[in-house]
Structure 1
Amino acid sequence: MYKKVHLDLTILCAGITAAIMVSMSLIYLYISEAELHRNHFNSFKNDMNTITMNLESQSTISMEWLSRMETQGNYIFYVLDNGIPYLYNILTDSSEKSIIFEEAIDTFKNYYSIVLSEQNSLSTFLFSTHIEYTFTSTSTGNDYYACVIEIDKNSSTLQVIILSLLDSLEKQIFRQRIQFLLINIVSIILLSIFSWIFTGKLLKPILENQKKQAQFIASASHELRTPLAVILSSAESCKEASPDKQSSFLETIKQEGFRMSALIEDMLTLSSSDNQRFSVRMMPVELDTLLLNSCEAFEALAKKKHISISLDLPENTLPLCSCDADRIRQVISILLHNAISYTKEEGSIKLSLSYHKEQFCISVTDNGIGISDEDKKRIFDRFYRVEKSRSTKGHFGLGLSIAYEIVKSHNGTIGVKDASGGGSVFYINLPSHQ
């Protein structure tokens, strides 16, 4: 499924980008080729103007001049003097050239028949001195620029047809197309590679989230299966048990029911956070008073394990903190409960509060079993518990995940580090203003 989505997104991303790039290339080629044709044709017209002026200024046209003009401009000349082919054409004539010139004349007559009819003469080609046009030879399939010139000299009429083969222009256009084709092919390959990497990174958080969801469901199923099995077993045992034992089984069912209820409540809390429906009611709160009350609430539980719990508050008056008092109290309760659970008897726990650079820092320090560096990376993951504490009843591995989501909703940070004398320090940083 993931590979198919990855491939489809890569094709979509690369395909759209490639389609836009190819379209822009085609538009550019069209404009560029049109400009090349226009410039080339204008250059041809300028040359024809020059040749026409030379023909008008010369009393006689030498074969040497015609040969030089053909060589310099890569042109083909066909000269008629009063309708009679010039000697130069008779000497250099060939059947192929004759056919091409006939096609050029036919094309001229077809396209400029209106001009001819206005002149009312088939012996003259045009009204103006010269005219340029483009035609394609049907015999060779080549494209040509053609110019027809008519000059009246004394009692004779000089008619000149000049052809220019467009092979150089076509080769230039062909090279340009090949260059753009290669550029597009390389670009599409690079785009495909980039799209594959980009969509892979784009899908990576989704894939990780999907894996976490699968792990969450598996872990939740495992956690719910244990109390449910105890409840079913106790209910089955109640059928044949004496009244005294029945009360014991019912008490077990009640305790396991409370465990399931607490687990479901934690799961609903995290689900609300995922769906961005995590309710946080901000108001000015005296954090020192809140920590004092939280510390007093856990003194009895700490005393049962012979653990001393202390509170360290700054001597100066602190500003009010904009937060949800109930949610922050829930976070402190989670941290204190974990500290008491994982601290050995005769141990100690310290709850501290400080204020620096418009930030409140709350810390819970214990001298318990500590947390390895590997476990620190995943300690806030859902259902994650250190291996040695997995058997601790009442801990589902969701408390720290809930604490993380609550602190994040307050635009704060939460983390863990080693205590100087052994154990762990959980710290919370909260901004004074939201």
Structure 2
Amino acid sequence: MFKKVQFRLTLMCGGITTLILVIMTLGYLYISENNLKDTQFLSFRNNINTVTANLEQQSVIKHEWLSKLEDNGKYMIFLMDNGIPFLFNSRWARADVEELYTEAFAYYENTFSVELVEPALYHSIHLEFTFSSANGEDYFASVITLEKGKNILQMLVLSSLAPMKEQLFNQRLLFLGIISFVLIILWILSYAFTKLLLRPIEENRKNQVQFVASASHELRTPLAVILSCLESFKQAPENKRETFLNIMESESQRMSALIEDMLDLSRSDNHSFSIEKESTELDTLLLNSYEAFEPMAKERNLALTVHLPDTSLPSCRCDKARIEQVAAILLHNAVSYTPAGGSVSLSLQQRKKHFLIIVSDTGIGIPNDEKEKIFHRFYRSEKSRSAKGHFGLGLCIASEIVQAHNGSIRITDTPGGGATFTVCLPLS
């Protein structure tokens, strides 16, 4: 399923980005090419202005000046004096060239004749335009009309657009290469990023599936015991029924505790974890926790000690009930997994702007490769699988509570063996 989602997300992200990039590129090319054409046409018009000014100043038009004006084939020039072609035009005496000049003059007269009524009223006039020949060639063209006495001189100047078109073609090829390369990288990155984006969702789904499976397993065991005891209760004599009732009550309480833990985690997932902060004396809170677990420690032949600072500590802004729950979870785990004859220590320290609640034991310890996993839901170390009443949710709940207080919880090895949990809480 996630492969399909990744493929569709890649198509969507890559497709939208590709469309935007292509539209922007086409827009840029359109503006760039139009600007280039306008610049070239403006340059051509400025050159014609210069040519017109020179024609007005010259009494004799020299072949040398005309040849230099053609600038090695950049311009093609055709001159007529009172409608008679100049001798200079003989150098272009080819049928295709003559046909080109004829087409240009015909286009000029048919298109712009209205603007040139009574041209003799003007000392000189020139008009620039774009012209396409019959063979598909495009040109910048200009017709200069100059009155000199009774003579009317006309000069046709053509500038081929082939070099500009080649420049535009090369520019398009360059952009096509760049865009193709960018799009390849873009699609690769889109695929990689969508995979990264979906990874937390995929992991969350796996955790949900595992959570449901683990919860079902944990609930099935006490439920099976209750059903078995209920069946036995129906057939048991009066003097033995109380035993089955006690077992059913114990398993029901176990199921209730599991369901309550699951509800806590559900509230955390929905960001409805109720945290009501108030000024709390942590030393008093830990002392109460110590007194609550002291009987359980004695019953298991464990030495439970508490270490509090000699000086008074400032109050901590926290949810008193939730922090008591964290302390209870850590102490219950420490007492449950520490063999008889071992010890459990509860201590409180202040470090600058933080409080440290430390629960240390000399129990079975936790391997390094499991230190991060123990805060996952329903995770229990292989060494603790046989411990009844521990569902693998306690440390996860403790971690959620501490994080809701903007604090942190970490685990280290106790010197000589065992595990040490350190809860760090801000002062306020």
Residue 364 of structure 2 contacts residue 383 of structure 2 at CA under 8 Å; is this kept in 1?
no
Residue 78 of structure 2 contacts residue 89 of structure 2 at CA under 8 Å; is this kept in 1?
yes
DSSP 3-state at the match of 1:416: strand
Q: Which amino acid aligns with 2:125?
A: T
Residue 78 of structure 1 contacts residue 161 of structure 1 at CA under 8 Å; is this kept in 2?
yes
DSSP 3-state at the match of 2:101: helix
Counterpart position of 1:324: 319
User: Is 1:414 equivalent to 2:409 in the alignment?
Assistant: yes
Task: Tell me, in whole angstroms, the C-alpha distance in 2 between the residues paired with 1:111 and 1:128.
Answer: 19
Counterpart position of 2:105: 105
Counterpart position of 1:363: 358
Q: Which amino acid aligns with 2:340?
A: E
Q: Could you tell me how far 1:23 is from its partner in structure 2? A: 2.3
Residue 356 of structure 2 contacts residue 424 of structure 2 at CA under 8 Å; is this kept in 1?
yes
Counterpart position of 1:240: 235
Q: Which amino acid aligns with 2:3?
A: K
Task: Tell me, in whole angstroms, the C-alpha distance in 1 between the residues paired with 2:383 and 2:92.
Answer: 105
Q: Could you tell me how far 1:232 is from its partner in structure 2? A: 1.9
Residue 124 of structure 2 contacts residue 146 of structure 2 at CA under 8 Å; is this kept in 1?
no
Residue 305 of structure 2 contacts residue 345 of structure 2 at CA under 8 Å; is this kept in 1?
yes
User: Is 1:287 equivalent to 2:304 in the alignment?
Assistant: no
Give the 3 Å change call, closer, same or farther, for CA 127–276 of structure 1 in structure 2: farther
Q: Which amino acid aligns with 1:385?
A: R
Q: Unmatched 5+ residue regions in structure 1? A: none
DSSP 3-state at the match of 1:379: helix
TM-score by length of 1: 0.94
Q: Which amino acid aligns with 1:86?
A: F
Q: Could you tell me how far 1:207 is from its partner in structure 2? A: 1.3
Counterpart position of 1:210: 205
Task: Tell me, in whole angstroms, the C-alpha distance in 2 between the residues paired with 1:319 and 1:71.
Answer: 92
Q: Could you tell me how far 1:280 is from its partner in structure 2? A: 0.8
Which aligned pairs between 1:253-272 and structure 2 lie closer than 5 A?
A: 253-272=248-267
TM-score by length of 2: 0.95
Q: Which amino acid aligns with 1:169?
A: M
Q: Which amino acid aligns with 2:220?
A: R
Task: Tell me, in whole angstroms, the C-alpha distance in 1 between the residues paired with 2:210 and 2:329.
Answer: 23
Task: Tell me, in whole angstroms, the C-alpha distance in 1 between the residues paired with 2:226 and 2:122.
Answer: 110
DSSP 3-state at the match of 1:74: coil
Which is further off, 287-296 or 181-190? Answer: 181-190
**Deviation string, structure 1 residues 305-348 (Cα, Å, up to 9, x no partner):** 11111110000010001111111111111111111111111211
Task: Tell me, in whole angstroms, the C-alpha distance in 2 between the residues paired with 1:184 and 1:219.
Answer: 51
Q: Could you tell me how far 1:127 is from its partner in structure 2? A: 8.3
Counterpart position of 1:56: 56
Task: Tell me, in whole angstroms, the C-alpha distance in 1 between the residues paired with 2:8 and 2:124.
Answer: 64
Counterpart position of 2:331: 336
**Deviation string, structure 1 residues 267-287 (Cα, Å, up to 9, x no partner):** 000000010000011000011
Quote the sequence identity (%). Answer: 51
Task: Tell me, in whole angstroms, the C-alpha distance in 2 between the residues paired with 1:127 and 1:340.
Answer: 114
Q: Could you tell me how far 1:91 is from its partner in structure 2? A: 4.8
DSSP 3-state at the match of 2:375: coil
Residue 130 of structure 1 contacts residue 150 of structure 1 at CA under 8 Å; is this kept in 2?
yes
Task: Tell me, in whole angstroms, the C-alpha distance in 2 between the residues paired with 1:141 and 1:97.
Answer: 14
